[in-house]
Structure 1
Amino acid sequence: MADATVRPEVPGQPTAPVTATKSPGALKSLAASTTGQLFEWYEWTAYAVFAPFIAAAMFNNDNPVSALLATLAVFAVGFLMRPLGGIVFGRIADVKGRKHVLIVTMLMMAAASLLIGLLPTYGTIGVFASALLLLCRMVQGFAHGGESATAYSYVAEIAPPHRRGMWGSLVFVAIMGGTVIAYGIGGGITELLSESAVGSWGWRVPFLLGAVFALFVLYLRSGMEESEVFDTAEAADNAAAGGAATGSTTAATGAGSEADSAVVTTFSRGRLARAIALVVTMVSGITVAHYTWSSYASTFAITQRDMDSGSAFWMIFASQLIALCTLPLWGLLSDHIGRRPVIFIFAVGTIVTTPFLMGMIDDRPWTLFVASLIAMTLVAAAGSILSSFMSEAFPTKMRTAGIGFAYSLSVAVFGGSAPYLNAQFIQWDLYWLISAYIIVLCVCTIIATAIMKETRGDNLHTVGRG
């Protein structure tokens, strides 16, 4: 069993070593957190997988292209709610704890998924169907912003420090795993049902299943442990507050408390904005590549290359299943060589391959499989270290709120809009802009990563000091 030394933030006292152990409780908490992420991302991706069918059911079909664009616009609006959810739930997680938020966000996602599965169609209630769909996606986006940020923080905090990259990679395993499950169910439904049946009611099945899955996740999360890193910081805050209230603190303790407060103040005023800006920029290339290949590639193959919908779903399913198996290996590599080199591998590889991969897709399913496999394996490299890299950029009492705002803002602006922008580029007959957009943002990722310091091995208890 691996032990690692960490130092708690205790105001007014020298930092003392504390042993962080990979306990059975930590492993159970890891499983509960990542399983929840798995099903949240399954519910989230199911919308993109069935976008053509949702467009037909929930919008005016007089113009099919317009209906699809409207569906993807609702997809993007859900992402725009994520920064707000990241800020609100991030602050709650930094004050009340990570476990509390992970349960609440799961309940919200489950309720929204159930409602989407039961919504009446445009033909039944007209524009109100579109409005209700938009509302459900906004609720999901709000909850998703808090869920993602909290999971990234939580897993990094419970991980053994020397294996933070590998443990953190499991968060992205869950993200890609949820996508794989969504595409697998999408492929199964389109194989078993006729196209008319899928359009009539089959597209609802994944959302109803998501609500059922959530009950199992809630059971797992009820037994989670709170993060030891958060508990240590909370105990330090309580000790400082108690000392001030009784007036019993010594001059040395008072000086220490002031110094500790100065660290937080200095970070919040001088470095928080910089850290957020760098994370937003670093994530931009990762998220646009991820959502182009996980949420739009199948729609592109079906609507623009006349690929069979069932075949397209299975190709995405197979390619992402293989890619997600590489995630722990990328995370482990980052624990040995650092976070920044792994990001550079993703960015340079994506810049070089993207123009060729987008151009090779035609109506033959294998072309989508090969293109998606290469692209998503590169995305896996960067995704594997997001939890560790972002958590190592913020101090404990600002970590979830900082990640929640920076990550959610970047994903909303660059990732959530990617399917819509890609469809719009195609409508303008500017296919080349899809690749150009990804390449430009990957260059931004390289620049931000070059500015950020290497954080492999950093102590999460002392992030923000010095």
Structure 2
Amino acid sequence: MAQTQTAAPVRREQRAQRKSLGASTAGQVLEWYEWSAYAVFAPFIAQVMFNPANPVSALLSTLAVFAVGFLVRPLGGVVFGHIADRKGRKFVLITTMMTMAVASVAIGLLPTYSSVGIWASVLLLLLRIVQGFAHGGESAAANSYVAEIAPRHRRGQWGSVVFIAIFGGSVLAYTVGGTITFNAEESFVLEWGWRIPFWLGAILAVVALYMRMGMAESATFEELTEEKISPDDIIDESVETGDPRVVEAVRPKSPLIAILVIIAMVSGVTSAHYTWTSYVSTYAIVEQGMDANSAYWVTVAAQVVALAALPLWGMLSDRIGRKPVLYTFGVGMALMQFPLMGLISDRPWTLLVASMIALLIVGAAGALLACVMSEVFPTAQRTRNIGLAYSLSVAVFGGFAPYLNQLFNSWDMNWMSNGYVVLLCLVTLVAVKILPETKGIDLNAVR
């Protein structure tokens, strides 16, 4: 009888955790959908929101606005991260989702360059800045939240849902893009079709917001609040965990070193990710002459395959450790970037094969980002530090990847765009070498 009475609260807690995980993931998918929709429709947005007299300049300007949205992500990560470390992860996850949704609707209502001239470009830039600010906070809070509610022995698997949401949002955006371009004339896509994804995001936001309102707050954060530990407190040297790996993880030589190492670790992952999700379809369409609809659909297929593999990478890291899986990404991507990009021609199957292989490799590291970052930073400063390190790395190395790729290719120097990814993957390998192995540590001790 006692066992039954004990098991009932445990089952209720597990159900609450799964419900919260689902609500968090649904919101993240929506936010990444809204973020990715811009990249998916970049060739069309370039024609209507910038001066169409110079198509190359217009496309570069569109990708530059994409990159600027990333530049404000570190600021959003720090601001919302600070709020999340004081008021809770749930509060920030609801606030950032609402902000992204409002900005998305506004983008869908913008006047075009032919109507208001340069003001169309300016307004688009301002709204992308708002989205980037909110997105920085969302990413920081989501990475902390999912890792904190996950069972200790399955943190890698549960943490992979953060990257599943990234791929899921991108898949949804490309699916909408493929559907619109397949069923509509280009003139309609240029006039109204590119706006539809942003309006659709508003409808989905209502459902996701309702789900997030019912989320439970992270128990790790609540325990911290009950103990009244300040986010600015220094780690207590008396913390005893019984595991030397935890001591190494929670007591880096300095917080700055930990942040720099995470920035370096993420750099290769994010540059490869945005090259093979946000840019590669544009490359196939603009540089190789591939049919836009075909490029969208094969990109969707490749991302679905990679998405399905993400929890498997997380499970593998729960079994063999984080570092071996991260090494797999760094070595694999450094070796395959040049041949995979060189495979792409105007034939859709080339994009499918290249993207599928590349994204499977990217997924090895992407699936582990949430758990690794959460296992390195202390609870009292976790969201703030993740917000700074992750958002800064993504902004500098990921957000500019599509722009740099297109710029180098427009100069007939595509070897430089590939070399950029390879170099950063090598930086990731160095960072992984420095990081401690954190599989299975107790986050309650990481304070």
Of 132, 136, 149, the residue aligned with 2:127 is 136
1:214 matched to which residue of 2? 205
Whole-angstrom distance in 2 between the partners of 1:337 and 1:454: 10
Deviation by residue 1:370-419 (Cα, 9 ceiling, x = unmatched): 00000000111111111100000101010000000000000000000000
Of 405, 408, 424, the residue aligned with 2:391 is 408
1:21–1:163 distance in 2 versus 1, CA, 3 Å? farther
1:61 aligns with 2:52: yes
Whole-angstrom distance in 2 between the partners of 1:435 and 1:142: 29
Whole-angstrom distance in 2 between the partners of 1:21 and 1:212: 31
2:66 matched to which residue of 1? 75
2:265 matched to which residue of 1? 282
User: After the TM superposition, which residues 33-48 of structure 1 pair with which residues of structure 2 at under 5 Å, given as runs?
Assistant: 33-48=24-39
Of 183, 188, 203, the residue aligned with 2:194 is 203
1:435 CA drift (Å): 1.2
1:172 matched to which residue of 2? 163
Please state whether the residue corresponding to 1:461 is helix, strand or coil: helix
1:31 aligns with 2:25: no
Whole-angstrom distance in 2 between the partners of 1:235 and 1:259: 19
Q: Which residue type is aligned with residue 136 of structure 2?
A: G
Whole-angstrom distance in 1 between the partners of 2:236 and 2:289: 65
Of 280, 285, 301, the residue aligned with 2:284 is 301
Whole-angstrom distance in 1 between the partners of 2:330 and 2:338: 14
User: After the TM superposition, which residues 338-349 of structure 1 pair with which residues of structure 2 at under 5 Å, given as runs?
Assistant: 338-349=321-332
Deviation by residue 1:102-148 (Cα, 9 ceiling, x = unmatched): 00000100000000000000111111110000011000000000001
Contact 1:93 1:101 in 2 (8 A): yes
How many equivalent pairs are there?
427
Whole-angstrom distance in 2 between the partners of 1:32 and 1:275: 30
Whole-angstrom distance in 2 between the partners of 1:300 and 1:145: 27
1:163 matched to which residue of 2? 154
Contact 2:250 2:376 in 1 (8 A): no
Deviation by residue 1:291-315 (Cα, 9 ceiling, x = unmatched): 0000000000000000000000001
Q: TM-score, normalised by structure 1?
A: 0.89
1:437 aligns with 2:437: no
1:20 CA drift (Å): 11
1:231 matched to which residue of 2? 222
2:441 matched to which residue of 1? 458
Whole-angstrom distance in 1 between the partners of 2:291 and 2:205: 31
1:88–1:355 distance in 2 versus 1, CA, 3 Å? same
Contact 1:20 1:160 in 2 (8 A): no
1:124 matched to which residue of 2? 115
Of 176, 179, 185, the residue aligned with 1:188 is 179
1:252 matched to which residue of 2? none
1:243 matched to which residue of 2? none
Contact 2:284 2:346 in 1 (8 A): yes
Q: Which runs of 4+ in 1 moved over 6 A?
A: 266-269
Whole-angstrom distance in 2 between the partners of 1:100 and 1:201: 35
Whole-angstrom distance in 1 between the partners of 2:139 and 2:111: 30
Whole-angstrom distance in 1 between the partners of 2:421 and 2:13: 39
Of 334, 340, 344, the residue aligned with 1:357 is 340
Of 77, 95, 102, the residue aligned with 1:86 is 77
Please state whether the residue corresponding to 2:289 is helix, strand or coil: coil
Structure 1: any 5+ residue segments left out of the alignment? 1-18, 241-255
1:55–1:282 distance in 2 versus 1, CA, 3 Å? same
Contact 1:21 1:160 in 2 (8 A): no
Whole-angstrom distance in 2 between the partners of 1:89 and 1:386: 19
Whole-angstrom distance in 1 between the partners of 2:355 and 2:20: 32
Contact 1:22 1:159 in 2 (8 A): no
Please state whether the residue corresponding to 1:225 is helix, strand or coil: coil
Q: Which residue type is aligned with residue 301 of structure 2?
A: A
Q: Which residue type is aligned with residue 431 of structure 1?
A: N
1:90–1:268 distance in 2 versus 1, CA, 3 Å? farther
Q: Which residue type is aligned with residue 445 of structure 2?
A: T
Whole-angstrom distance in 2 between the partners of 1:178 and 1:267: 33
Range with bigger deviation, 142-151 or 427-436: 427-436
User: After the TM superposition, which residues 244-283 of structure 1 pair with which residues of structure 2 at under 5 Å, given as runs?
Assistant: 270-283=253-266
Q: Which residue type is aligned with residue 156 of structure 1?
A: A
Contact 2:16 2:216 in 1 (8 A): yes
1:428 CA drift (Å): 1.4
Of 107, 110, 121, the residue aligned with 2:98 is 107
1:374 matched to which residue of 2? 357
Whole-angstrom distance in 1 between the partners of 2:440 and 2:169: 29
Whole-angstrom distance in 2 between the partners of 1:186 and 1:115: 19
Please state whether the residue corresponding to 1:392 is helix, strand or coil: helix
Structure 2: any 5+ residue segments left out of the alignment? 1-9, 240-246
Whole-angstrom distance in 2 between the partners of 1:343 and 1:22: 32
Of 370, 383, 387, the residue aligned with 2:370 is 387
1:434 CA drift (Å): 1.5
1:212 CA drift (Å): 1.1
Q: Which residue type is aligned with residue 394 of structure 1?
A: F
1:21 CA drift (Å): 8.4
| C-alpha RMSD over aligned residues | 1.9
Q: Which residue type is aligned with residue 302 of structure 2?
A: S
Whole-angstrom distance in 2 between the partners of 1:257 and 1:297: 47
